[in-house]
Chain A
Amino acid sequence: MSAAEGDPTRARATLSLLLIASVLIASWHSGFELAGLADAEASAGFRDLLGGLTRPDLSDAFLTRVAKLAVESLLIGVLGTALALVLAVGLALAATELPGLRDDPALRPGRSTARAGLRALARGVLAVFRSVPEILWAFLFVRIVGLGPGPAVFAIAITFSGIIGKLFAELIEAADPEPARQLRAAGAGPVAVFVYGVLPLVRRQWLAYALFRLECAIRSASILGVVGAGGLGQEIELSIRYFQYDKLATTLAVVLAYVIALELASVGLRKVRPAWSVALFTAGALVGLAVLPVPWGALLEARALDQARAFLVGFGDPTRSPSFLLSSLKLALSTVSMAWVATAIAASLAVLVAPLAATRFTIGAYLEDAPRGRGWTRWLFALVLVPARASLQITRALPELVWALLFVVWLGPGTTAGVLALAVHTFGVLGRLYGDVLEEAEPGPARVLEASGASAIARYLLGVFPQVRARLLAFTLFRFEVNLRAAAMVGFVGAGGLGDAMHTAISLFHMRDLAALLLVTITVVVAVDALGDRARRRVLGQRGAAAPWNTGPAPP
């Protein structure tokens, strides 16, 4: 902190003002307004929703159906991740120079250029795979191979191979080059160098990250079906389109249970040997392979290739008219604004609620023998703690797309629905993360304050908050990057931004427009990722902390 020239407090104040101003500008720019929340039509929408949600469809036939769909979603996520891992390892290897194999003097110049070309290509593929929203992949695959869980499996495989492959490649490059160098000196070939010189160094991290992403993929699989790709998502989309809110209530409850069960399972599995997770993962993937009707053959048929070509042809000649590019740019800015405003709203609410949900701040105290609250104060703590935790749990469990569908019903289509959807989900995610960070804070300063009789609020503001501020900010920035991708997704269900425009372009077969929109999306996502990496490094002041999952609890 002291490195900054001049008064650090003043610099911080200026920064905070700039942040607030940027949020205000972004919220004006994205067309976000809360005025519509309570007007007559919106209340009608809300009443309809609530009316249905309070009388869920509990008929045996429907419950059986939804249970089957939940299993289908689970298998989609597992099988999709298994495929993603295969792709990710291949792409990561193609995208990196193995340490110790650098500048191989034996390579002729032609071959080393070819290798550099291959690396650049693999990096490009990784960037495209992870930047294009998975719902768009699902939509395209529904077009190519038809309705059913297959498209969702492919969509998850592609998106997650981009995300996982990027990190795998970074880990390879960060690995200690010495073992690889020695193996090469002893005459080992590239395969042996990788298997014995690199893999043992990165294996643990690869595995941890793959399992973390598996959880994300299973969550994502619960909703990808909104475009007709099977699982719970398809059911949610149908019941919303036809105003069957009683069925919606049941499906939402199942999604909630699904995500909570997933979290419990993942917490449990983290306590036992990783081999258990790997065994379950492998078994799940095999069952998925055997049970899910995934049309593998259709992918390789000539007509699927034809369609892939029809899609790619747009990229050869994307729409370049200035008016279209200008409007895409505006949409891109509005999408960034949506993510920014949503993250800001979520962060400011989460900062308030997270301490309420943390045991230490409500029931416990920092002193070992602190006087406990007596009588009604204890009840008061429980009254605060339980709803705070429940609100974080529910908002986090339902994916952004589900919130978007609900807000579109409530408020009608538009960016406001999108911003609220992102904000509500992010509130749950950040609240949980903030809570974990707060619980891990050094108790020393707070203890001192408590011993000198400071109030709970003063203990939090002066004793705890200053310690964790940087990490909270880093998590928040990371979430903004995640939200940018999500902001491009929610448009597919009518919640504004680039997704809306992409949906129109696909619906109308305007493949050149779609290509232009995708290029804009990819550019923005990659640019924000790069900026985010830098910003996080500055905030945390160390390189190793660039990715939040290295420093703390895995961000859901």
Chain B
Amino acid sequence: MTSPRPRTAALRTGSALILVAILALFGCKRGESAERGPAPIRVTGIPDENPTELAREYAPLVALLEARLGAPVEYVPVTDYGAAVQALVAGTVDFAWLGGFTHVQARTLAEVEPLVMRDIDRDFHSVFIANVDSGVEAIADLKGKRFAFGAKSSTSGHLMPRHFLVEAHAIDPERDFAGAPVYSGAHDATVVMVASGKVDAGALNMQVWERVLAAGEVDTSAVRVIWETPGYVDYTWTARSALPESTREAFKRAFLELDARDPEHRAILDRLGAKAYVPASPRDFDAIEAIARATGLLESPHD
């Protein structure tokens, strides 16, 4: 406490130096981003399968979109369904491949619109599978067994299977299973859980089931299908309504003009399990919204 003045001066010089260093760092970063070309279009999708599979599915789509939109396209990976919705709602991405339920979540949170969906999405199904050693042969046998849904916000892995369990089979997932249902996080993870016997049965997306069957990724002697749900509307590419009309239209056309006769397009469509893309409209998701409210999974922030 001898001479306060020089110490204050040292403090000031020190903080000034630090400030300059921080500003310089920011300056560098700002400079880098300014050198880039046109603003990239950013897309994401709900992580309903493992990241390797997702990367495989999105790579050709990104290439297609870059060619058709004439701008760089960036795929932004996310690790949970809600993050995909949030990214779209917040505008950190422009387009998101959402499930029926996540689309409805997004539209209750912000102005968004559905653009296109695969032909199979208009009549989508879930399958219920069981481990062969579990003694589960039909839905009625599920009482008292351990059961896995997919992600909590999944339409075909949670919302619709839950809805059909309650409505068509009078099974209350919160009471009738052995303990609370398990959430595997993704469709292919559900298959692994059932096959390994970690749970007795589970429900998942029909198209993923067919893909793992075709790829031989599941031991068919360990797992059997016990029920397939009636059809419902599921996935869609969703855009922020704030995007320019022309961008949204170009994006839509890029998908609608995919032609199964073109071998390059065919490869993309095959990987996604589709024959063609068709337009989607907001009304397509009204039924899902009603079901989501009835099951209590959808809560409007404003009520």
Chain B binds chain A: yes
Determine the distance from Cα of A296 to Cα of B23 in the docked complex, in whole angstroms: 12
**Contact partner, B185, options A192, A241, A307, A412, Cβ 8 Å:** A241
Q: Any chain A CB within 8 A of the CB of B273?
A: no
Q: Any chain B CB within 8 A of the CB of A520?
A: no
Q: Any chain A CB within 8 A of the CB of B168?
A: no
Closest A residue to B85 by beta carbon equals A509
Which residues, 116 to 173 on B, are CB-close (under 8 Å) to A? 146, 151-153
Contact A196 B90 (CB under 8 A): no
Q: Given A143-B86, A504-B152, are A44 and B105 also a contact pair (CB < 8 Å)?
A: no
Where chain A touches its partner, the secondary structure class is: helix
Q: Any chain A CB within 8 A of the CB of B9?
A: no
Q: Any chain B CB within 8 A of the CB of A243?
A: yes
Please indicate which of the listed interface residues A242, A290, A304, A412 has the most CB atoms of chain B within 10 Å of its own CB.
A242
Q: Any chain B CB within 8 A of the CB of A97?
A: no
Contacts of A286 in B (CB 8 A): 21
- Give the number of A-B contacts (CB < 8 Å): 101
Which residues, 74 to 110 on B, are CB-close (under 8 Å) to A? 76-83, 85-87, 89-92, 105, 109
Contacts of A512 in B (CB 8 A): 299, 301
Q: Any chain B CB within 8 A of the CB of A256?
A: no
Determine the distance from Cα of A550 to Cα of B85 in the docked complex, in whole angstroms: 47
Contacts of B186 in A (CB 8 A): 241
Contact A303 B197 (CB under 8 A): no
Contact B25 A146 (CB under 8 A): no
Q: Any chain A CB within 8 A of the CB of B50?
A: yes
Q: Any chain B CB within 8 A of the CB of A227?
A: yes
Q: Any chain B CB within 8 A of the CB of A506?
A: yes
Q: Any chain A CB within 8 A of the CB of B291?
A: no
Which residues, 182 to 214 on A, are CB-close (under 8 Å) to B? 192, 196, 200
Interface string of A123-167 (1 = CB under 8 A from B): 000000000000000000011111100000000000000000000
Please indicate which of the listed interface residues A142, A303, A507, A513 has the most CB atoms of chain B within 10 Å of its own CB.
A507
Q: Any chain A CB within 8 A of the CB of B112?
A: no
Which residues, 266 to 299 on A, are CB-close (under 8 Å) to B? 286, 289-290, 296, 298
Question: Contact residue range for chain A?
Answer: 35 or more
Q: Any chain B CB within 8 A of the CB of A511?
A: yes
Contacts of B196 in A (CB 8 A): 41, 44-45, 48
Q: Any chain A CB within 8 A of the CB of B215?
A: no
Smallest distance from the beta carbon of B171 to chain A beta carbons, Å? 20
Contact A310 B109 (CB under 8 A): yes
Q: Given A412-B182, A508-B297, are A289 and B22 also a contact pair (CB < 8 Å)?
A: yes
Q: Any chain B CB within 8 A of the CB of A413?
A: yes
Smallest distance from the beta carbon of B124 to chain A beta carbons, Å? 21
Q: Given A241-B189, A512-B299, are A143 and B82 also a contact pair (CB < 8 Å)?
A: yes
Q: Any chain A CB within 8 A of the CB of B4?
A: yes
Which residues, 37 to 74 on A, are CB-close (under 8 Å) to B? 40-41, 44-45, 48
Contacts of B69 in A (CB 8 A): none
Please indicate which of the listed interface residues B77, B80, B90, B299 has the most CB atoms of chain A within 10 Å of its own CB.
B90
Q: Any chain A CB within 8 A of the CB of B1?
A: yes
Nearest 5 A/B pairs, CB to CB = A228-B79, A507-B152, A303-B90, A143-B86, A510-B299
28 A-B pairs, CB-CB below 8 angstroms?
A145-B92, A146-B76, A146-B87, A147-B77, A147-B78, A227-B80, A241-B50, A241-B189, A286-B21, A289-B25, A290-B25, A303-B91, A303-B92, A307-B90, A413-B183, A494-B182, A507-B80, A507-B81, A507-B152, A508-B152, A508-B153, A508-B299, A509-B82, A509-B109, A509-B299, A509-B301, A510-B299, A511-B301
- Identify the B interface with A (CB < 8 A): 1, 4, 21-22, 25-26, 50-51, 76-83, 85-87, 89-92, 105, 109, 146, 151-153, 179, 182-183, 185-186, 189, 192, 196-199, 297-299, 301
- Other than A147-B78, A241-B189, give 6 A-B pairs with Cβ distance below 8 A: A40-B197, A307-B86, A307-B89, A507-B151, A509-B301, A511-B301
